[in-house]
Amino acid sequence: MTEILRVDHATKTYGKRGEKQYQALKGINFTVEPGEFVAIMGASGSGKTTLLNILSTLDKPTTGHVFINHEDISTLNANQMADFRSKQIGFIFQDFNLLENLTNRENIALPLTLRGLSVRRVNPLVDKIAQRLGIKEILAKYPSELSGGQKQRVASARALVHEPTILLADEPTGALDSKSARELLDTMDNLNRNDNVTTLMVTHDPFSASFANRILFIKDGKIGEQMLKGQQSRQEFYHLLIDHLGTEE
């Protein structure tokens, strides 16, 4: 078993037995291999946010299993899940989720300081990822002093500073202008290609999805079909995706 992520027959049902229930996920199955960049596309209400919450250990499936780095996260208790999340998962939020009273350096360092690492060990790791993302000159500033694109780069550095097994991104360009969005997607693509960062991104945006190697389509709580980029250029993949979405009912 070489996959970084494996989802086996995962379901999620909301509501108590005997009351009206809603099944958000209806038997999800897929895997993500090391170094893949996978996008999950779906309309509002399709189940993609529920799925992402389960993959990020913020929720558990009602039935089925989720394996990350060969560990069944669906069997972990709350403390074990928090510990696993802090070590194995990086998460980029749509709205940045930076703490305004901390400097950008302190925001990036947060996953490491919460694990009790000393400043002597933390600072070189922060400097390394900040250099990689081109934000060393803004480490002493506060989030309120940054543009949206810079905030998302800081948030990306925070998600990657502890070298997670997998990077999860929830509509990462949703709060960005087109230029900043393109810069972030180029950065994610570069990290995936050159640093082998395994990435799973949830998005409804075809342009964002076209940066992935593979796109999974979720609808009504099920993953139906997928699209593979193969040897196509990103532009070719984007136009193929637009054509595909245009033919959907």
**Domain-located, residue 139:** no
55: left (phi over 0), alpha (psi -120 to 50) or beta: alpha
Averaged pLDDT, 30-42: 96
Q: How many CB atoms lie within 10 A of CB 46?
A: 21
**Domain-located, residue 159:** no
Residue 247 has a pLDDT of 75
For residue 219, give the CATH number of its domain. Answer: 3.40.50.300
Q: How many CB atoms lie within 10 A of CB 62?
A: 16
**Domain-located, residue 130:** no
Contact yes or no for 90/167 (Cβ under 8 A): yes
**Domain-located, residue 117:** no
**Domain-located, residue 59:** yes
Residue 84 and residue 71: Cα distance in Å, rounded? Answer: 9
Q: Is the pLDDT of residue 59 over 80?
A: yes
Structure confidence by residue, pLDDT tens digits, 183-232: 999 999 999 999 999 999 999 999 999 999 999 999 999 998 999 999 99
Give the H/E segment covering residue 129: helix 119-133
Residue 244 and residue 115: Cα distance in Å, rounded? Answer: 45
Query: Which pLDDT band holds residue 108 (cuts at 50, 70, 90)?
Result: very high
**Domain-located, residue 31:** yes
The structural domain count of the chain equals: 1
**Domain-located, residue 131:** no
**Domain-located, residue 122:** no
Residue 248 has a pLDDT of 66
Residue 35 and residue 167: Cα distance in Å, rounded? Answer: 10
Structure confidence by residue, pLDDT tens digits, 113-134: 988 889 899 999 999 999 999 9
Domain hosting 80: range is 5-96+167-247
Q: Is the pLDDT of residue 1 over 70?
A: no
